[in-house]
Amino acid sequence: MADDTNPIETMTPGQILADASVADFIKAMGLSIAEAQKALDINSIAQVGEYAEPRPGLNNQSLLQLGLSPPFYHYQHADLSVSMQLTMKVGKASAFGIGAKVDFGLGARSTGPANAREAQITLKKLPASATVDGTKIDATGADLDAAGEALAAKLRAPTGKFERALVASTRKAPKAELDPPTAKNPILTPGAVAFLPTGASSAGIIRIVETPAPNQKDSYTLAAGKTTEVSSEANKLLYARKVVAQINTLGGFKARLARDPGGDSTAPDAPGALGIALFDTDSSVLKKDALEELKLTARLIKEGAQNVDVTGYGDTRKDDDYNKKLGQRRADAVAAQLKAYDVPAGQIKSVTSGGEARWKTTPDNVANAQFRRVEVTLVGSSDLFVIVDSDTTQLQAKPLPDRTDGTPGNGLIVVKSFAAQAVDGQKLKLGDALTPVDIKPDAVNTADDKFDAGTPEAFAFNLAKSINDSSDTHKARATRRGAVVLLASVDDAVTIDLLSLSTDDIKLSAADGASITKPLAAITPAGPTANKDKPNVTLAVGVAVDYRTSRQFEQSVNGNSAISARLVAVPAPVQFLDEIKKFLEPTPAPAPTPTP
């Protein structure tokens, strides 16, 4: 979700309608109604002659003499109102429009574009830049995806000229092999290379089902000399937080409550959550903190044979449809990362979006960062989980309380030890020719990243840089996320879809590895399509007549524009009929003039 303010959100309804010239539309529609009514009246009067004509089959009587009269058709009612529909950008299937509605009892709608323009910039390699109104903006970053995100941030209001700048990328995994093929670290999966910790480690999951009874305690023993007793609290959430705090004071371990990402106690409730990833506004790119959390979560899911659901969410600053799609992109990104961390696909039971539904009624004037999340939850569970990771001390074989046997209650349900595993992969072979790229442990010291030599992050940084430096040879590019390197074809691209609501003249161009793939232009709605949704219809006096109901007149056109009108037949005015009857009565013969 974007933190920038959409100008249309600050306009009053009157300003929006004036800008869209809706008043002119209503005026034209009202005059059209009057013209249509005039045509109906003329049509009714034209039938009078037929009703007054004597008919041989009726003993030379007219329909009028038999008591029939020509019907006069009128609009039953015609209410003019204005409605607005705003839909913002998602990927490439975007639209922005404002429409007016004319209701004739059955309802109708006609839509048209407002002052909305869109453009698209495509990045294929670095360096790359965009120029807006003469100002050059460089796309900078460790990889193409990061550069695309950085460029979008500069183009987006308030610093840039565009109300929306949405980033999307496509990845087609290139052919890749490890050398030697028996290497155990890193792990090569389709489209990703994941470096594991090189030292021995252990981790566990503590399940919190309830707080102990009043004045009671639970005792947690994680290793020799590492025991803490945790007393009851008012509820299980407060109790779980106390468990985390007391384990962290033991020393040698790092504990966190999965429900409270980043230690934020204001986070929404997340029953059954084993891991949570938070996202930047309008983004589905995993952040560094999320990558670190998911790495341990993934190892516990895999080694503990746990089945999980992955659900993505957005905050409430845009419409439901946008947030549903954004939540799905975020969920897809987390599921892909879990697989890159070697979680079997079969253990990820669902990857879905919750949109904004869970906090729809929650005020969100500051775009709550905790709403922009993906939850990895244990299938069928509503418990709280504390993740314990070894720091300087390893978990003992059976920490207490031991619940790994499936017994109920608070305690450890998963305990895993991971042996030291040095990085034994020496090269990564890429492309159809399997061009080798060195896997190096060198220390990293840049403005944005600092990693000690031999750490998983240092290996990943060096590999991604080497791949991108030689992409012309093997036709692959790389994106680093924590200790994972994501692989893509060099022909894949990052796109930035831009939306402007301003009427200002904006000059946009791109250079080097960037190009303008869609020039800035007004958004054009799709043309109308007709759909006859009534059987046996014909056209009379500009409206469709349904012969199944002789006095019901209806027109319906589905598509970008639609008008429906209901007409009713009313008896001719009594005065009109009296005048017609007088006209048809024989003229009395003049009285004879008396003879003098």
**Cα 282 versus chain centre, distance:** 9
Enumerate residues 6+ apart whose C-beta is below 8 A from 538: 544, 545, 547
Q: Residues 540-570: pLDDT tens digits?
A: 222 222 222 223 333 333 333 334 445 555 5
pLDDT of residue 434: 94
Burial class (CB in 10 A: 0-12, 13-18, 19+), 38: exposed
pLDDT of residue 301: 94
- Residue 63's alpha-carbon distances to 70, 549, 580, in angstroms, are 9, 21, 12
**Where residue 273 falls among pLDDT bands split at 50, 70, 90?**
very high
Looking at per-residue confidence, does 415 or 77 come out higher? 415
Other beta carbons within 10 angstroms of residue 187's beta carbon come to 17
pLDDT of residue 117: 87
Torsion sign, CA atoms 196, 458, 286, 173: negative
How large a percentage of the chain has pLDDT more than 90? 40
pLDDT of residue 474: 92
**β-pair partners for 500:** 117
Looking at per-residue confidence, does 569 or 92 come out higher? 569
Residue 89 has pLDDT above 50, yes or no: no
Coil, strand or helix: which one is 121? strand
Residue 63 token pair: 């329909």
How large a percentage of the chain has pLDDT more than 70? 70
- Residue 259's alpha-carbon distances to 275, 355, 372, 428, in angstroms, are 8, 19, 14, 38
CA quadruple 581, 582, 588, 590: dihedral, nearest 10: -170
Residue 165 has pLDDT above 90, yes or no: no
What are phi and psi for residue 11, nearest 5 degrees?
Answer: -90, 145
pLDDT of residue 438: 97
Q: Which residue has the tokens 């349900």?
A: 413
Coil, strand or helix: which one is 69? coil
Distance (Å, rounded) from C-alpha 43 to C-alpha 48? 9
CB 184 within 8 Å of CB 342: no
**Where residue 244 falls among pLDDT bands split at 50, 70, 90?**
very high
**Cα 334 versus chain centre, distance:** 15
DSSP code per residue over 350-365: EEEEEETGGGTTS--T
What are phi and psi for residue 47, nearest 5 degrees?
Answer: -85, -10
Residue 163 has pLDDT above 50, yes or no: yes
Question: For 162, which DSSP code?
Answer: B
**Where residue 493 falls among pLDDT bands split at 50, 70, 90?**
confident
Other beta carbons within 10 angstroms of residue 63's beta carbon come to 17
Question: Domains (ranges, CATH) in the chain?
Answer: 7-112+526-584 (no CATH), 117-170+493-522 (no CATH), 176-182+422-486 (no CATH), 204-272+383-412 (no CATH), 273-380 (3.30.1330.60)
- Residue 579's alpha-carbon distances to 85, 453, 584, in angstroms, are 52, 107, 9
Distance (Å, rounded) from C-alpha 358 to C-alpha 268? 9
Q: Which amino acid is at 344?
A: P
- Residue 313's alpha-carbon distances to 68, 293, 332, 538, in angstroms, are 67, 18, 11, 50
Least trusted range by pLDDT, from 141-145, 344-348, 498-502: 141-145
Degrees to nearest 5, angle at CA 343 with 340 and 348: 110
pTM of the model: 0.54
**β-pair partners for 311:** 352, 375
**Where residue 383 falls among pLDDT bands split at 50, 70, 90?**
very high
Q: Residues 431-466: pLDDT tens digits?
A: 999 999 999 999 999 988 899 999 999 999 999 999
DSSP code per residue over 419-483: --------EEEETTTTEEEE-----EE-SS-EE-TTSHHHHHHHHHHHHHHTHHHH-EEEEEETT
**Where residue 592 falls among pLDDT bands split at 50, 70, 90?**
low
Looking at per-residue confidence, does 417 or 535 come out higher? 417
CB 526 within 8 Å of CB 95: no
pLDDT of residue 450: 92
Task: Select the highest-mean-pLDDT range: 219-223, 339-343, 416-420, 530-534.
Answer: 219-223
Distance (Å, rounded) from C-alpha 262 to C-alpha 283? 18
- Residue 247's alpha-carbon distances to 30, 273, 392, in angstroms, are 74, 20, 13
CB 464 within 8 Å of CB 479: yes
**Where residue 38 falls among pLDDT bands split at 50, 70, 90?**
confident
Alpha-carbon Rg for the chain in angstroms: 36
Mean pLDDT of 269-293: 85
Least trusted range by pLDDT, from 28-32, 169-173, 203-207, 219-223: 28-32
DSSP code per residue over 188-223: EETTEEEPPPSS-EEEEEEEE--PPPTT-EEEEEEE
Query: β-strands 308-313, 348-355: how paired?
Result: parallel
Burial class (CB in 10 A: 0-12, 13-18, 19+), 279: buried
**Cα 448 versus chain centre, distance:** 30
Degrees to nearest 5, angle at CA 240 with 212 and 232: 25
Burial 293-331 (b: 16+ CB within 10 A, else e): bbbbbbbbbbbbebebbbbbbbbbbbeeebbbbbbbbbb
Distance (Å, rounded) from C-alpha 556 to C-alpha 530? 8
